[in-house]
Structure 1
Amino acid sequence: MTITYSCIANGRVILADLAWTGGSYQETAATVLRLVLLRAEPKTTIQMGSFVYHSLFIDGIIYLCASDNALDIVTPSAFLKNMKYNKNQGDSSISTLRSQVTDVKIIMTQNIDKILESEERLNSFTDRTDNLQTTAKDSQETRKILRKIWWQHLKKIIIITVAILLSIIIILLSTNIIPT
């Protein structure tokens, strides 16, 4: 008794297959998968040509193998259970992988949150910088205005001082306190 072909399918889609002998099994396997799905029984045995196809149908997953001996049912059954057992071992690695993906998602979410917080701080810093630049420009304009007012005030003081001095000199000259 030889198992010549095996596959694992999700519905009618073959996920993995292996042929130990030459030949094209995919077309026949597609037909067998269709029949297994129609019957929807946990275990099915179908004769196609010179091969007997044995299937195990669990949770939408079909474990299928082809043997060249129609009388032997024990070996294909054990083979299919072994395939399912290996699948369950794979589930633990899949669950491990899923938990790792979940951990990566959590870390990525935390990193994105940190980036958003950093961006908020950067925007706040940029706003403060803009406010300081505006204040600095206003301060420079205020200084220019104050300097202009100061010069105008100084000019008035100089003009008033010169006018008072000239008035004093004229008064002193007219009273002959200062001889001419």
Structure 2
Amino acid sequence: MTTNSKGILYALVARGPVILCEYNLVRGNAPLVALNLLEKWVPRPDAKASYVADKHVFHLLSDGELTYLCMSDESLGRRVAFAFLADVQSTFLAAHGASTRSALAYELNTAFEPELRSRMLRLNADPRADALTRIHGDVAELKSIMVDNIDKILDRGERLDLLVERTDDLASSTFTFKREARRVHGALWWRSVRLRVCILALCALCLYVLLAVVCSPTLHC
């Protein structure tokens, strides 16, 4: 994963391994690495962890149901990264908390991607990167947060550079997955519409039959 960018470079909100929304400031395989982490990560209330990958760090924050993840360059302090995730968490829950349990993959991307982007750009524009921490007050003590190499959480010690080498092969699969998620969502929506139309038609037919029995087929009572 090669980039000269600084600050928060990638962020997402997920329910288990299902990514609900994401935003990426750089090109690369960050989404693929993040998906690998989500598949191994066990969400627990107030769980936090950081995983070092080359010259970047993946930070994860969980509330027990949702996981908030961001990737930063190694120079960004963890205090700032977790303050950013806490900001994303509070904003996301306030806007979409009621729909998170049933939302499909990437269903909330259109609605929340601008929020992720604006918060990433705002933090990255601050050279001190302390604004978010001041807004949220004291961040929880970080000494107990696990900081480990990303290789240790991937199956069989799979190394990050192997993921990088396979980026070109897997990138097309990522886009295909997003397109398929949108297609499935559209199909489910149309199925719901057709079901409602059928129910209304059935109700109208039942009403007609009832009136025909009580009155007459021409509905003259």
TM-score normalized by the length of structure 1: 0.52
Deviation at 1:38, TM superposition (A): 7.9
Contact 1:12 1:33 in 2 (8 A): yes
Summarize deviations over 1:70-126 as a string: whole Å, max 9, x none: 55012211111111112112236759xxxxxxxxxxxx9xx7897333431124323
- Residue in structure 2 matched with residue 76 of structure 1 by the alignment: 81
Between the two proteins, the alignment pairs up a number of residues equal to: 117
Structure with greater Cα Rg: 1
Task: Specify the SS of the correspondent of 2:207.
Answer: helix
Contact 2:60 2:70 in 1 (8 A): yes
Separation in structure 1 between the aligned mates of residue 97 and residue 38 of structure 2, nearest angstrom? 26
| 1:8 alignment partner, one of 13, 37, 52 | 13
Which amino acid in the other structure matches residue 90 of structure 2?
Y
Higher relative contact order (CA 8 A, sep 6+): 2
Separation in structure 1 between the aligned mates of residue 38 and residue 45 of structure 2, nearest angstrom? 10
| 2:69 alignment partner, one of 59, 64, 80 | 64
Contact 1:8 1:17 in 2 (8 A): yes
Query: CA, structure 1 residues 54+112, in 2 after alignment: closer, same or farther (shift >3 Å)?
Result: same
Select the structure that is richer in helix. 1
- Counterparts of 1:77-96 in structure 2, within 5 Å, are 77-91=82-96, 94=99
TM-score normalized by the length of structure 2: 0.44
Deviation at 1:12, TM superposition (A): 1.1
Question: CA RMSD, aligned part only?
Answer: 3.6
User: Once the two structures are aligned, what percentage of the paired residues are identical?
Assistant: 21
